[in-house]
Amino acid sequence: MKNQRYLIVLLLFVAALFTLTVNLTAAISVQKVWQPDSQLAPANTRVSFMQFLLLSDTTERVDGITIQTTGTDVSVYRQSLLENGFGDIVGTIGIRESNTQFMPLSLIVKAGEPVYLTLKGDMERIIDSGYSGTIIGTDVVAIWTGATVSGSLPLVGTRHTVNTSLQVGGITSTGRKGSHQNITAGENQVLGSIEVTTSSAENMLVYGLPIEIHSTGGDPSRIRNLVAMDQNGAIIASSRGTSVLRKEYGHAMFALYSEKGGIVLPKGTSTIFFKGDTTDAFSRGGTIAVETNPSEWNAYGVLYGYQGAVSGLGSVLSATSFVRVPRLDVSTTSPQYMQVNAGTLQVPTLSILLDATKSSEDIRVTQIPILMVTSPQWKRDLSQLTLYDGSTLISWFHDDLGLDDGIAQLTLYFGANGFVVPKGTAKTVTVKLNISPNAIGFYGIALGDFANVDGVALQSGKTPTMSVTIGYTIVHAQSGKG
């Protein structure tokens, strides 16, 4: 038995030692997999130096790389950057006088999953002709990680030649286009628009257009059939179904792609409109704004094929679109207390506000519930309940008010045609009634909650979203006043 226990302990010790050895020898291998041919490097272009990969048998973190630049004077070369295999920029460092610099990163290399990284550089927007012919290059000389690094360092990148005479295309500016607007929750709605200006040298081709939709009151991830359109109404890119790259409360990220291989931006200034189906994204209305960051675009010249240096072009946010749905907000505006003389006919009591200012359609109201409360012995003091739009009688309650035990639940109907509140407007209707000559006491008239305020959207036939705020008026009838 003792020998068996000893053997088990020994095996556990060996296993622990083996695990410790594996952890101590965890390594990341680095290897260059591709580099472009040498080429001319004109102003305002993004040139590539190499692509390399990082691979590890264990999951490891990479905190940065050290790069060494050649010929990259601050007047020639704006910044170095690193792109992952999806074209996302994962690290940047501006050029300083020193030719050796640390580029901070926050990369996770998962076990057995290679990470491909492309080292690029942005040329200055304007380069003095005296620098023409300068040879530039960027190498990777160190990988900063907690693991052992294996591989042949430094990784030497391609050398390029600065050219100041070749004029190539590029995106020079972006901005908001248009003003705030109202849209409906439905198909083919304009969500926002931006303006893009390119240089006059050549058209630009954009591969993938990342956009982020910001919203209040809705779920932007439920927007469908997203497209980008040019100023002539032609579709230039789409979201390819319902693909959402990332979402969180009030925000959703999408990528739009062209079916023709790229989005063509013509020379000069053009407008991009974003459209989508908001039917499922909004039930009570809300707001939408579209944001895109041109520094994340992969833009290439159609004629010369150079990638544009789009760094420094900050995010652009479209004007806000207000999403409207069929909607009616109901509340009361009358005073909560009023005194009247007994024996007064058609006393204006409860005022009800029917508000369709935020509605996308006209609303036909079909019924309004009214609650009346008084002491049982005074149930005959009130009669002839009516509803007026200004001086126009629009509904009345024909029967005895029936204040059983001092409470009456009444519904005012508007007939087959209903009472229409046009979209963008609000109407106030007033409850009137007769006070008997013998009335003396307190009488409550309220917007009831025992039944719905009913209505229908006039154009679509949909049931509108209703928001009802209960309110009341207390009438104090006094004999012999006045």
pLDDT tens-place string over residues 269-283: 999 999 999 988 998
Nearest Cα to 123, choosing from 173, 65, 164, 68? 164
* 21 has a pLDDT exceeding 50: no
Whether 309 is in a domain gets the answer yes
Listed range (147-156, 227-236, 285-294, 400-409) with the worst mean pLDDT: 400-409
Last residue of a domain, which of 96, 127, 162? Answer: 162
Listed range (71-80, 268-277, 360-369) with the worst mean pLDDT: 71-80
Last residue of a domain, which of 324, 342, 369? Answer: 324
CA separation for the pair 264, 230 (Å, rounded) = 10
* Tally of domains in the chain: 3
pTM for the structure as a whole: 0.74
H or E stretch at 22: helix 2-24
Tell me the three state secondary structure of residue 450.
Answer: coil
Is there a single domain that holds both residue 112 and residue 67? yes
Whether 1 is in a domain gets the answer no
DSSP 199: -
- Average confidence (pLDDT) over 439-446: 89
Is there a single domain that holds both residue 331 and residue 314? no
Is there a single domain that holds both residue 187 and residue 223? yes
CATH number for the domain including 141? 2.60.40.1290
Mean pLDDT of the chain: 87
> Is residue 13 within 8 Å of residue 139, measured between CB atoms?
no
Q: Which residue has the tokens 């010929």?
A: 71
Whether 282 is in a domain gets the answer yes
Is there a single domain that holds both residue 96 and residue 183? no
Which residues form the domain of 304? Answer: 171-324
pLDDT at 449: 77
